[in-house]
Structure 1
Amino acid sequence: MARQGQRRSSGSRTTTRGRRRDQDNEGIIPVLAQAVREVENGVMRGRVDGTRFQVVALLVREERARLKADDSLDEQRRATELKRLDGIATILAQTAAREPSLFTRLGEDAEITDGVRRLKRELQERGGIEPEPAAESTGSASTSPLRPDRQVVPQSVARAQLANPFMAPDYSAVPVVPKERRLVGWELIGPLLSSFEHPAPGVRSCMDLPPSRPQMLPPGLELMEHQARLLSAVGDGHRTFLLADEPGLGKTAQALLAAQTAEAYPLLAVVPNVVKTNWAREAAQWTPSKTVSVVHGDGLSVDGFADIIVVNYEILDRHVGWIGDHGFRGMIVDEAHFIKNKASQRSQNVLEIAERVRRRVARPLMMALTGTPLINDVDDFLTIWRFLGWIEEKKPGPRLMAALEETGLTPADHAFYPAAREAVVDLGIVRRKKVDVAADIPARRIADLPVELAEADGRSIREAEQELVERLVQRYDAAMATRRSGPSPAGTGVDLDLVRRVAGSELADSEDSTTGDNVFAMVRRIGQAKAGLAADYAAQLARSAGKVVFFAKHLDVMDLAGDVFTRRDLRWTEIRGDQSRTARQQAIDSFVNDPDVSIIVCSLTAAGVGINLQVASDVVLAELSWTNAEQTQAIDRVHRIGQTEPVTAWRILAAQTIDTRIADLIDSKAGLAAVALDGAEEEAATTADVRLEALVSLLADTLEKRGNTNP
């Protein structure tokens, strides 16, 4: 009986041990033990899984707090479980000792990334713990710009995100930790702004840039010295820039080549709608080996596999979700003064994406481009600095804080302010003026700026252009049919002589037509459709570079532009054909002498000659002239003897319309004229009417595509 009782007792103890072993294999602790061994083994093999390390540390901390607060546990059980957690913590410490970069993951202020959140939920579920409800990836619900009802995910983007393994998070950089802590507790944002509001005379506004180095460029392209020096800084490892060069100094090219130098692909460019098409064009020109895709509307046509994706501010709210998860390694914000109001939806969208980019990539390329970093006051800096990661919501970011600590000063010291300003400039402010780099750039240049017309306008104009082309083809086919009844001409292909005669007939009919379906009416409609876009760009120039001369051909385009300037609170004046001589001179005097009058709107025909507007160095050509001479005369109102700065003429072109064809023809005639002036012999066609050549080009291209041949 005794033995039976002993066996029973032994069996009871065995049952208890079995139950304890079952308990030891349940819950979160065995899951953490397995995870920490995986991290340890990975480090020993040279593979550092910082995310898993951080998640284990977080869950150990939470489980320890839970055990201490759990009144249902007896002291022996609590001590046993805490001892098991201590064992896991010991392995964490030993692993971090082998790989010191992991120590940053143990801090209370260590960043909680989307990857950390996902893995934490996964381990909690495996351990039988119900995870907390998933939060938005950034901010609180009250501040997050994500609107689920407006979010879209283009199919191409979804395929790219599933297919591309390179989008894995990159945590390779060790966070900057200040050596000193004397500035803890100081309010520093105000003093930083004050250092820019009241700078000492002669202080620099541009970071020190290294000497220029040779760059690999597409054939036929060259960099100016100031552009090459910025790329040298990127090559040396600098990754954040407030590029505040004056307009006309090639900020777009610098940004695109900076991305190429830093291998910051995929690259996101957030730009105003007026320059969206131009960004795609510039990308194709400066980085032809990289694919570029432009986001329109809901992004149905975007290529999710493209190296460079361009999106405009106006539609960004629909795309924040997928953009934030796409794995961009570089982000460019053009006309960055658009985000100066941090409370605006536009600014919140940009900041949201920037935060997500930094969470996934250790050192992304972040560039803010603007010729006008300040419009109202120094507070305009704040959102741009935050986009670049230089500051956080209410304090400097780690790199800036480390630089401020290195000064050994506090805001109580007068010397702190110039030192703080230098610290911010060295983070990446680059500011050059035209006059500073005048030797680098041509004294006069024409820069084409393609713009996308509003959807309805663009569709209507393209339909009108198609009707014109069909009418030309019908004329040509009718003429060819008449020929077939006579002798057949020798040779095959498009009959260019007949094409020219057909175009001439259409042009003659257009001059006599009153129906509004001719080439003149179509070009005028294009001018009306792009008037607002051209005026908007002129307003941006006026804010950033000073006085601007705005040229248009038609009075209704001038009126539309004037309305835009008035709405933008810009003072402007105008020169038009129906003015008296006195009113004309008053307009000129006002523009030249009054510093508050920033724009003069001029008629191409009424103001193309006889006036001096060299107080400006930027010209906007909102409508194309039919001759190069008229265009040149307009530019020469600014580019003339006495001009001290290089002149840039911004030619606004309606993309995917006859506008671009006309611009190419004007340029070709300008080149031919130069050859003729140099004494070369040219055919009589070199002075042909651009209007005729535009129609000839339209018809010939259509016939070649159709594959039409002479019988």
Structure 2
Amino acid sequence: MKRPRLLNSQPVLLEAAVFDGYDMGILMPYIEGANKVMFARSGFFIRRGDHPLCRYWRVPKAKFIDELDLVYHQLIELAGGKVTESWQAFRQKIESALANPRRDAFISGMLLRIAPLADGGVLLSGDYHPGVVAVARRMRGVFLGKSSSWRVNATAEILRSNLVLELGLVEDQFEILDVVQELLGDGSVTPAADIPRISLGGAPQEPSTAASGEESSNDIYLAAVSPIERTEFSDATIAQALVGYSLLDHQPAGIAHLLQRTSALLADDMGLGKTRQAIIAAHISAAGRPILVVTLSSLLINWQREILAVYPDATVAVQKHDPLVQWMLINYERLGDYVLLAEHYHVLVVDEAHQLKEPTAERTRHGFDIAAKVPNRYLLTGTPVLNRETELHTLLRLSGHPVGQLPLSDFCERFAGSPEFRQNLRAELGDWMLRRRKDVLPGLKGKHRQLLPVAMGVEERKKYDSIRLEDRPIFARLGALRHYLEQVKVRVAMDLLGELDPEDKVILFCEFKPTVARLKELCDVAGIGNVTLVGSDTLTKRQKAIDKFQGDPDCRAFICTTQAAGTGNNLTAANYVFFLGLPWTPGQQDQAEDRAYRNGQLRTVIVKIPLVENSIDQQLWQMLLAKRQVSLELIEPEEQQDALAKAILAATINQ
């Protein structure tokens, strides 16, 4: 007996909904014109009969959810009464899908290809999925538009494991090629054996390696830079040239180190006057010819002041080319504008040179284009290694050092991965890199770090765990947790501020701008004079904040983000430094601390680091300690490494 037909029943608007963490899957009856609603939101109709979600519309979550009520009313209007569904029922089905994601919803039939690259790393290509893009970005991949693929600096096994964990893919959805591929200058791919080398003159060029700060890259070759050569400046000539200068005892050797080589790295610890040494060396070397200085935008005014302090009659231009001036100051974002002007300059000074550590970044390519045309290249950075050994490879190559001419795979095989290999690299750097620590300043007081354990309350722990267990990609949760922990530590920072003496001043470093705003609000209420500095501030506003903190005794708190204020600025009025959030690398942490701990500081600097117990804070701190050991082994003399490691531990007090 057949089931009786319900003549008055109407189909519902939303038959089913799924969510995979990135896209929504929407199943609904045929409604004339509904396709336009979906297409307008980048929707895609799944027609494949073998797909488990055949007849579903696949729509990016953000484009669908942000206008959910509008989508509902548009569809209801198009249906003209032929379907039924209340707004509440429609929304409830969507919310249920969001709360119960199926990560494998749209992976049916997906195929991905992973191929080894000649210079190390792998090339990932195949079917598009936003989860694949997310994994590639998290692994610091570079998208190569010409070949529609991602270059990832990892092994095929690690990349495949990350994709399986993220999307639930199975082994037969991967094709692992054993033919080594190589990238051409336009970003296209070819088997390595078939490639003709490209040369623009000079020494043969090597293809750069993957790393990434840039979303995409089509030109992965770097201009050939001339090899380092010794100059004609003798010790006696330099000593005579420095007569009349007011210099600290260690600074003549730094000036000589730059002058006696066509390219070198001055890696003095922060606060030892690298800027002053480079200005004098560039002036002597240029002998009246033009000098190009590249630095961070926040340091342009500081460089201008330093040049005029040494040479009051100097002609200086900032950010605008003037062929009549000797000193041209630009930031990294302007490098591309000076490639065609590079032959005009006799000396190139690259301040904070670790900014050029990523070989596929656009700024690095422009930096090489300029360096290839300038005969003298001085690199300055107190943190030549932020994370790993390979960061030195690009700086060596930019200088024209023989080790920098090695392909990255050979460089890593010889110098990366173990303390012994890093010692070998340290020996190779001896003549190129000069590094002195702050113990050359006998008048400088000490610096002490204090770790402060912070316990979360019951409600704070619940909030922390709810963020930690959210169904979001791991990096999104990690960022949200770091932001929340900063908020937790605001009360700790205010308690610490209340304990300081009236003559004490403090720098408060945050990772997130809302924390800066909240601290300022609380300091204003408490009557604590303060200034702030964040990345969106203009150069004028930045300098006014620095000058006020340095010169006004009633301005006691400098509240800032590490990214905006952690490099280059002189904040020696502060004798306390608080970190509400830790940066990702020990180099960034040291740079930030040493805004206060540098030449001109007359008091002991106390660095307070609150760490929330049983949280990612403690894991990040351990990661920083491990990275710090790599840096010590690379840039410090072997005989000093044990003593420095012990000194760092001794200066870190758990309270």
Q: TM-score normalised by the shorter chain: which range applies?
A: 0.3 to 0.5
RCO comparison, higher one (Cα < 8 Å, 6+): 1
Larger strand share, 1 or 2: 2
Larger Rg over CA atoms: 1
Larger helix share, 1 or 2: 1
**TM-score in terms of structure 1 length:** 0.34
**TM-score in terms of structure 2 length:** 0.36
